[in-house]
Structure 1
């Protein structure tokens, strides 16, 4: 009986991992469900200690996602990340983004470097918390938005060449699924339906974590006008603050 060579076994392993993930996300109906299903599947299938899913209008803005989906050990690191580190995330550097646009997957070993702040992100944030392996998967999602999906582990060899090849194989089908999903679950769509088109546009940018000044610059509005829009949106939706609005827009139900 013929036996499989090393390359054939590696190919089987690559496809096996990818198909196991696709089985877990194939039946989802909206982007929030997809985020939850995918992070859980990646953590289980690739045996990493944590998986994350950040979304934004661009890959850089994805790092500012106010309500990412996180499973595993990096969940407790989120407040520090949002307060101090998201602007210096190593995977938002031009080098990392070029790599991810070309190949859809980038690892810490491939992009280490950048500015002094990027280096500190690795040494004083990731490694201080015991994270030695970090891999980012770049996906297109609905409405032209971008997602950065992270896999993190304490073992520096957890994601090796076979796993990277598998993730690159997986990226295309995952992006195809994500692009076709509604951004919000039915309850969130109902919330947006209460708003005028301009109010909904402002609300979505609040959901990105942008300031009034940044929203004004994007929409050619004075920051004071943006503030009025936000006040109107909160009154219409019955929400109390920007954080509640962001969560309502970015999570199901």
Structure 2
């Protein structure tokens, strides 16, 4: 999303190898722009909800000034499923024909280790604020979802955020919750400037920003559910969730403060 909030479109030309660290079996692929990507499949367990969360999480992370790999929509042809010998991967490829999410591959990056790399308090505060706002349950000591690349910290994997969209209809109730899971965040002790970060980002999280961000998400990712009439209805629910959560931000800000103590 280097061009504003718009996702570039590429075509997968070569399936290289699966990444078996995660349950959703993402893969390293090459695309027709000659770059490598970590491909996140719409046919994986969490479906397109995880792809939507990735787009939203990455967009807001960029707004906060955090480093994140570029995201693209990556078209997967049905030909890949025909030639794959592994039955599990073959099924995943067949269920994922069409537009998937590509995350620019940071070759040579290593997983963040808090015993080796010190995260500045300002950066830590941005990441903790982001994850509390989006209710991301998956940036813990066990699974940090951060990389060190070129001696800098990069934030990846926002797919576990916005878990309200797995039940969908209780979005308002969930948006006002404090997010008690923030106590398990790998950077909670370093997040000393949460209120400062909140005051800085608040004027930037405008209705126009949210609308542009949501409009960048492919319609098909928003309609592959049984309880949404069309993509714009889904966008409206995400918009309402995000704006209402922002309006009730004191709930999650207080929870961060308590967890930090």
Q: Is the structural similarity TM-score above 0.5?
A: no
Normalized per residue, the structure richer in helix is: 1
Q: TM-score, normalised by structure 1?
A: 0.26
Q: Which structure has the larger Rg over C-alpha atoms?
A: 1
Q: TM-score, normalised by structure 2?
A: 0.26
